[in-house]
């Protein structure tokens, strides 16, 4: 095709499309750019379109033309940086790339940034695909999602790396479970345990397993490691029918320098900042997206909407938000460029987040956006019109750090570090927090959760029980990485399966059943989630019993019914007649302890009548035996 001066081309990309895209507001641009099955001048084939503003010439190449850049040249649409071509006779399942001739004359073979499917690694071609054939069966889930406010509902997330959750003993495709196989086993496990959501690491296509999916080359392609895009749709559909939401890790912060990826896409800085002081992460060896370009912002925002709307994903957890917000992130003096005001804030990234979160909220589909933001940046979950970034939730990294530092201590020294467990309760209303014990905490010689715990084997499991109970009672939504709910011993390794046999051994099974009971308790009692970010939802009974390392507090329900009293002993010392103040006269029924777990329907739980004895600055109190590492949760 010759260059179209009037910008009409095949007519598939209109002048309105180009205007919206070049101004960062074409939220369905993935329906136009990329590879799409079309009929042109009476012939069926594939239509290709790509943004490459600095290219001298582009050809679509693949098996169908012997990878010859001259066989299927593309036409540049005027004033847009977009190139297009139609290849007659080509259908679904074809391998292809773009052969991009740069201004210097060098030919670059690039995968399609908007491809819906990618070749199985280590091969790097894009694959033509059609997403319209899948028939969804989750209409009731999607309708319910639109009406829910996730901030006052239960959110307990099971964080999963599909490639290492379970593996099969065979060589085919590295022994990975397919999306379909994983849907059934993972869906059944998560539903049985009582989690509300699954969060998946590394689903967008990536070349290197060791990146865990955080260095993406195919932003619109579910990784072919586990199957096809339609099979991934089935995975999400099945989990929805089991009552489980699906969250994806999403990486708009950076991308790798692989030759077939986005780096110097058309021979120059295209998706990244041109100045390496802004455009490269020195610590990670990756490129930084240029949030000052409308087309780049459009690529990312449309990508977020693509997962939410095309794949029915319930939320995105945005990785490495701090690296986007700070121009000096990971950089020393002289290695970064201040903003127009002389500060270190990336004003373009701030505007990008506000745009992204505003658009997703206005679409009204109920999707959540979670920030993994590791600093004290203010108003991360505040609305943009109030000066915030507009995220639904933020990972509480400060709580995680303090909690783990406390739990790793020998119990004798915990009394000197009591504040590590109470400090999080001074700021829990400042953001919509998620309490996280994520994959990052069980790799790189940090030890698994069970191996962080002090003492002999039985002590380790007892510590973890009381620690998880504290996490459950603390305001904020919850996230736990796979394997930590049954006491996985070795650190997470993306190349091997979890040690599932441990879940069948006595201590592992006991811990798994206890975590299951915690999760079911969480969903049963609204006091544990409906006022997560309200001072009225939490009150201390005794925050100062540091000498005995005992914490007692109340989670209040909105209607005053079925509030919960937590009493937690973080030492191996039994307190045979422990007394705790209670807010009112009445009966306090034990609903969970460290040995029984959850007192299920049909088994009458022990109950205690409040006595008119002042304790903990309260008019009434109850007394009971509190064992070593004891847990007592009462409803009243």
Which residues have a catalytic role annotated?
Answer: 319, 372
Nearest C-alpha neighbor of 112 from the set 72, 62, 71, 78: 62
Q: Are strands 245-250 and 286-288 parallel, antiparallel or unpaired?
A: unpaired
C-beta atoms surrounding 29 within 10 Å: 26
Q: Exposed, middle or buried by CB within 10 Å (0-12, 13-18, 19+), for 221? A: buried
User: Hey, CA dihedral for 214, 349, 111, 317, is it positive or negative?
Assistant: positive
Tell me phi and psi for residue 311, to 5 degrees.
-110, 0
Nearest C-alpha neighbor of 218 from the set 156, 299, 138, 150: 299
Cβ atoms 206, 215 nearer than 8 A = yes
- Cα(158)–Cα(469) distance, integer angstroms: 16
Nearest C-alpha neighbor of 30 from the set 17, 41, 39: 17
The distance between the two most distant Cα atoms of the chain, rounded to a whole number of Å, is 91
Nearest C-alpha neighbor of 125 from the set 227, 259, 249, 252: 259
* Torsion angle of the four alpha carbons 310, 316, 321, 323, in this order, in degrees rounded to the nearest 10: -60
- Cα(522)–Cα(528) distance, integer angstroms: 6
Encode 373-388 in three state secondary structure: CCCCCCCCCCCHHHCC
Instruction: Enumerate residues 6+ apart whose C-beta is below 8 A from 373.
Output: 321, 322, 325, 380, 394, 395, 397
End-to-end CA, the chain: 76
- Cα(328)–Cα(346) distance, integer angstroms: 9
Q: Exposed, middle or buried by CB within 10 Å (0-12, 13-18, 19+), for 143? A: exposed
Q: Tell me the residue ranges of DSSP E strands in 513-563.
A: 538-542, 550-555
């Amino acid at each position: 095709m010759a260059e179209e001066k009037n910008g009409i081309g095949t007519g598939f990309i209109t002048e309105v499309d180009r205007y919206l895209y070049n101004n960062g507001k074409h939220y369905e641009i993935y329906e136009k750019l990329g590879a799409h099955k079309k009929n042109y001048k009476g012939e069926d084939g594939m239509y290709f379109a790509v943004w490459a503003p600095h290219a001298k010439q582009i050809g679509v190449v693949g098996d169908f033309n012997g990878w010859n850049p001259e066989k299927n040249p593309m036409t540049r649409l005027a004033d847009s940086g977009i190139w297009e071509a139609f290849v007659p006779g080509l259908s679904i399942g074809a391998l292809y790339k773009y052969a991009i001739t740069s201004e210097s004359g060098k030919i670059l073979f690039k995968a399609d940034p908007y491809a819906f499917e990618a070749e199985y690694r280590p091969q790097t071609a894009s694959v033509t695909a059609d997403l319209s054939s899948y028939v969804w069966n989750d209409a009731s889930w999607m309708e319910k999602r639109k009406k829910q406010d996730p901030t006052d509902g239960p959110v307990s997330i099971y964080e999963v790396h599909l490639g290492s959750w379970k593996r099969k003993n065979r060589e085919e495709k590295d022994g990975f479970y397919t999306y379909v196989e994983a849907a059934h086993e993972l869906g059944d496990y998560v539903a049985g345990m009582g989690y509300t959501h699954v969060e998946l690491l590394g689903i967008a296509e990536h070349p290197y397993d060791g990146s865990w999916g955080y260095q993406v080359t195919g932003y619109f392609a579910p990784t072919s490691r586990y199957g096809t895009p339609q099979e991934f749709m089935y995975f999400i559909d099945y989990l929805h029918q089991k009552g489980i939401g699906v969250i994806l890790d999403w990486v708009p912060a950076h991308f790798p320098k692989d030759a077939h990826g986005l780096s110097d896409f058309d021979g120059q800085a295209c998706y990244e900042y041109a100045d390496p002081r802004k455009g490269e992460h020195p610590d990670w060896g990756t490129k930084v997206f240029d949030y000052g370009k409308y087309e780049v912002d459009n690529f990312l925002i449309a990508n977020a909407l693509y997962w939410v709307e095309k794949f029915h994903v319930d939320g995105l957890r945005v990785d490495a938000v701090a690296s986007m917000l700070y121009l000096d992130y990971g950089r020393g003096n002289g290695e970064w460029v201040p903003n127009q005001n002389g500060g270190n804030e990336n004003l373009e990234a701030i505007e990008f987040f506000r745009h992204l979160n505003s658009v997703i909220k206005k679409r009204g589909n109920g999707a959540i956006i979670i920030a993994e933001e590791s600093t004290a940046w203010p108003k991360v979950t505040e609305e943009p019109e109030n000066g915030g970034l507009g995220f639904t939730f933020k990972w509480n990294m400060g709580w995680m750090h303090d909690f783990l530092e406390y739990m790793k201590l020998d119990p004798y020294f915990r009394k000197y570090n009591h504040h590590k467990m109470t400090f999080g309760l001074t700021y829990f209303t400042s953001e919509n927090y998620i309490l996280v014990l994520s994959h990052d905490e069980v790799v790189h010689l940090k030890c698994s959760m069970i191996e962080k715990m002090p003492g002999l084997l039985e002590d380790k499991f007892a510590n973890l029980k009381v620690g998880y109970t504290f996490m459950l009672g603390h305001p904020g939504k919850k996230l736990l990485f796979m394997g930590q709910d049954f006491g996985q011993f070795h650190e997470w390794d993306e190349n091997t399966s979890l040690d599932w046999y441990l879940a069948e051994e006595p201590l592992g099974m006991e811990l798994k059943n206890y975590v299951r009971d915690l999760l079911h308790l969480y969903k049963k009692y609204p006091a544990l989630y409906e006022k997560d970010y309200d001072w009225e939802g939490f009150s201390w009974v005794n925050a100062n019993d540091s000498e005995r390392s005992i914490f007692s507090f109340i989670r209040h329900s909105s209607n005053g019914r079925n509030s919960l009293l937590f009493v937690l002993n973080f030492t191996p010392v039994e307190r045979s007649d422990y007394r705790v103040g209670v807010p009112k006269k009445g009966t306090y029924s034990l609903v969970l302890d460290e040995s029984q777990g959850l007192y299920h329907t049909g088994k009458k739980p022990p109950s205690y009548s409040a006595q008119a004895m002042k304790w903990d600055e309260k008019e009434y109190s109850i007394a009971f035996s509190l064992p070593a590492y004891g847990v007592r949760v009462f409803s009243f």
